[in-house]
Amino acid sequence: MDDLLLFSNDKSEPHSWRKELIHYLASLRLTAHENSTQPRPCAHSIPYLGFQVYPDHRRLKRRNVVQTRRRLKALLSMYQHGEIELERLTASVQSWVNHARYGDTWRLRQDMLGNLI
């Protein structure tokens, strides 16, 4: 199932939405992850699409940054050894930069890629 966020100003409304959504998914023989479907206050961060979403900003999850550093280092090594073409390396870097751009990541992108972006 795709990710879905619902917002409300009424504290009880998300709880009723959750019950209705679980019932609807059951009619389709689908289930929702129990921990992920808990209503939470917007003042706390929400994990969503590889980011921690706060009321006023978004940050990449730390594990995604660590994983990306490892993957880019491996791709660079493969390129230096002639195992992949420059186009493959460039496509991977551009893909990550475009994803990371949706968060507050300017400093992180500069740290990881320097003047390449």
Q: Where are the domains of the chain?
A: 1-39, 59-116
More confident residue, 77 or 116: 77
Q: Rounded CA gap, 82 and 76, in Å? A: 10
In which band, very low, low, confident or very high, does the pLDDT at 1 lie, cut at 50, 70 and 90? low
Mean pLDDT value across residues 46-62: 86
Residues of 84-111 as b/e, b for ≥16 C-beta within 10 angstroms?
A: eeeeebeebbeebeebbeebebeeebee
Report pLDDT for 89. Answer: 93
Report pLDDT for 44. Answer: 79
pLDDT at residue 115 greater than cutoff 70: no
For 53, phi then psi, to 5°, come to -100, 120
Q: Give the dihedral sign, CA 81/82/83/86.
A: positive
Mean pLDDT value across residues 88-105: 89
In which band, very low, low, confident or very high, does the pLDDT at 104 lie, cut at 50, 70 and 90? confident
Mean pLDDT value across residues 36-56: 83
Q: What is the pTM of this model?
A: 0.63
